[in-house]
């Protein structure tokens, strides 16, 4: 899996919006406003999941607890992962991670959930 830099808006804690923005090919601020319209606490898993489900994503549980570097993902995916006490979300398209963290360490994150576009 390779990593490609993607950061439309440099906002701390913006990984949820950034991931969805890339996956849906929509403006970062439009996605953020859509999420806030669901709930001001748009970083809550129930809120962003509701938005993803409305946009034809399903949960793919085939990779739970695996390291990102140990899998291959085809198609359009959003990955929720962690390392220690740091949680992160990123868009993965055809085995390429799109994220502002353009380095290989991101591949050492452990997968919580994968949202797959159907």
Tens digit of each residue's pLDDT (9 = 90 or more) over 47-103: 999 999 999 999 998 998 999 999 999 999 999 999 999 999 999 999 999 998 766
Domain span at residue 11?
A: 2-117
pLDDT of 104 reads 67
pTM for this prediction: 0.92
Handedness of CA 18, 31, 43, 66 (dihedral sign): negative
Number of domains making up the chain: 1
List the structure tokens of 72.
Answer: 């291959």
Distances (CA, A) of 100 to 56, 67, 118: 25, 19, 25
Residue 31 has pLDDT above 90, yes or no: yes
């Amino acid at each position: 899996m390779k990593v490609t830099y993607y950061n439309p808006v440099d906002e701390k804690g913006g990984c949820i919006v950034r991931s969805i923005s890339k996956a849906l090919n929509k403006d970062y601020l439009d996605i953020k406003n859509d999420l806030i319209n669901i709930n001001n606490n748009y970083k809550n898993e129930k809120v962003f999941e509701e938005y993803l489900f409305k946009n034809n994503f399903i949960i793919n549980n085939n990779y739970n607890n695996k390291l990102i570097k140990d899998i291959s993902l085809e198609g359009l995916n959003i990955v929720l992962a962690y390392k220690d006490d740091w949680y992160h979300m990123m868009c993965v398209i055809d085995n390429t991670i799109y994220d502002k963290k353009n380095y290989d360490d991101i591949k050492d994150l452990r997968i919580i959930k994968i949202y797959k576009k159907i």
